[in-house]
Amino acid sequence: MTDTEVLPVLSETGAATLRADAVSAWFGDHKVLDRVSLTMPARQVTALIGPSGCGKSTFLRVLNRMHELIGSASLAGQVLLDGEDIYDRGRRITSARRQIGMVFQKPNPFPAMSLYDNVLAGLKLGGIKSTRAGRDELVEECLTRAGLWKEVRDRLRQPGGALSGGQQQRLCIARSLAVRPRVLLMDEPCSALDPTSTRRIEETIADLSSEVTIVIVTHNMQQAARVSDSCAFFLAEQGTPGVIVEHGPTDAMFSDPQDPRTTDYVNGRFG
């Protein structure tokens, strides 16, 4: 980067409530979600749980307009960010993706790019000029919030690919934070990591949750219980599209589920 660069204009910041209202999704004529409604409150962690293939990742992609990148994909329903429809015709797709960030299952930093530039990689959306000092500050802030600063502060010019898997995932979280998202979507962010790195990411999630709304897909019930405030249990039975069977506070979902299918799933009896 040169000395004066462009940082994005940030008109709206701060954690926002995300609400899905009667969301259905298709790939071609295969319907994979049927009228799914869910409120994901600001400054809370919502976990999406359920067996493989029930539509959790598809639902996550609908929440930040990534679903429409797939050629055969279509959808119905609304997604509201603090009450505003992210699919409204007047809204830019880049605005939704900036405000609603995504961290993927497999850490995907730019391997040859420095750690410093990796953090700033999402900032090319245009906006206000920044100085070198402003960028330094942002890099430090985002790496600190992602729980990685102390480990990498002396080697910011090393390539992203030189980090361990868990560090790479925290670098990806730092990169997501740099554009100041209001919601962070995480699709099984620990499934490629060892238990120690997993714990570290879980601590990061706990630290971030006071500032940004988090929605996490996880297959790990202990993890859902540890990190989330509320849970939604998805299920697609016998070739039917995925629905939410039950949702509510995580404690209640695990200790006193209302639906016998939830009881079976959270106790590991299927899926």
Ligand X SMILES: Nc1ncnc2c1ncn2[C@@H]1O[C@H](COP(=O)(O)OP(=O)(O)OP(=O)(O)O)[C@@H](O)[C@H]1O
Min CB(58)–ligand X separation in Å: 3
Which residue, among 143, 210, 194, 199, has the nearest Cα to 172 in the 3D structure? 143
- Total number of residues that touch ligand X (CB under 6 A): 11
Q: Which stretch binds ligand X (CB under 6 A): 55-63, 79-87, 155-163, 247-255?
A: 55-63
* Closest to ligand X by CB, 19 or 56: 56
Interface residue with ligand X among 34, 36, 45, 55 (CB under 6 A) is 55
Task: Give, for 85, the enclosing helix (H) or strand (E).
Answer: strand 84-85
Q: Is 165 helix (H, G, I), strand (E, B) or coil?
A: helix
Window 142 to 181, contacts with ligand X (CB under 6 A):
none
Min CB(53)–ligand X separation in Å: 4
CA dist 42 and 57 (Å) reads: 20
Min CB(270)–ligand X separation in Å: 13
Q: What's the Cα-to-Cα distance from 74 to each of 56, 66, 96, 98, 244, rounded to whole Å?
A: 16, 11, 17, 21, 19
Min CB(240)–ligand X separation in Å: 11
Min CB(27)–ligand X separation in Å: 3
* Closest to ligand X by CB, 122 or 271: 271
Window 1 to 40, contacts with ligand X (CB under 6 A):
27, 32
Q: Which stretch binds ligand X (CB under 6 A): 51-59, 109-117, 139-147, 252-260?
A: 51-59
Instruction: Tokens 């500050």: give the residue.
Output: 137
110 binds ligand X (CB under 6 A): no
Which residue, among 154, 119, 174, 157, has the nearest Cα to 7 in the 3D structure? 119
57 binds ligand X (CB under 6 A): yes
Contacts of residue 141, defined as CB under 8 A and 6 or more positions apart, other chains included, come to none
70 binds ligand X (CB under 6 A): yes
Min CB(186)–ligand X separation in Å: 13
* Closest to ligand X by CB, 124 or 269: 269
CA dist 169 and 151 (Å) reads: 13
Min CB(74)–ligand X separation in Å: 11
* Closest to ligand X by CB, 57 or 230: 57
Q: What's the Cα-to-Cα distance from 150 to each of 102, 143, 217, rounded to whole Å?
A: 24, 8, 28
Interface residue with ligand X among 15, 54, 102, 205 (CB under 6 A) is 54
Residue type for position 6? V
CA dist 187 and 156 (Å) reads: 27
Do 233 and 239 form a contact (C-beta atoms < 8 A)?
Answer: no
CA dist 268 and 271 (Å) reads: 7
Which residue, among 40, 39, 42, has the nearest Cα to 14 in the 3D structure? 42
Min CB(253)–ligand X separation in Å: 17
CA dist 53 and 32 (Å) reads: 9
56 binds ligand X (CB under 6 A): yes
64 binds ligand X (CB under 6 A): no
The residue ranges that bind ligand X (CB under 6 A) are 27, 32, 50, 52-58, 70
